[in-house]
Structure 1
Amino acid sequence: MNHKIRFSDAHGYRPLKGVMLTLAPTDHAPTAPATQRVVMGRFVWQLQMARH
């Protein structure tokens, strides 16, 4: 799954480090099968400290 998911900033691409997947049932019929998925990715984010 992480082969085609990429995130980048001014310093280049950041690798995908983890994925969370959950099903999202509709609000109108909570007992019906889920038709949507919520996917969240975890990326490494490094802040560059300014040097004086």
Structure 2
Amino acid sequence: MVDIAVDIVAGIGVGIVADIAVDIEVAVAGAGASLAVLPFVDKAEPFA
């Protein structure tokens, strides 16, 4: 029974860490995309 409990806890821990890692990657990718678009938006404003 102890082995099963340890496996469950370890599985949950790994799942949480993986979720956090994915969230960080998505946030970084989103920020990168925003920064990449900003110069074009700034240049386009006078024509808007």
Task: Please state which band the TM-score falls in when normalised by the shorter chain.
Answer: under 0.3
TM-score (norm: length of structure 1): 0.26
Q: Give the strand-richer structure, 1 or 2.
A: 1
TM-score by length of 2: 0.27
From the CA coordinates, give the structure whose radius of gyration is larger: 2
Higher relative CO (CA 8 A, sep ≥ 6), structure 1 or 2? 1
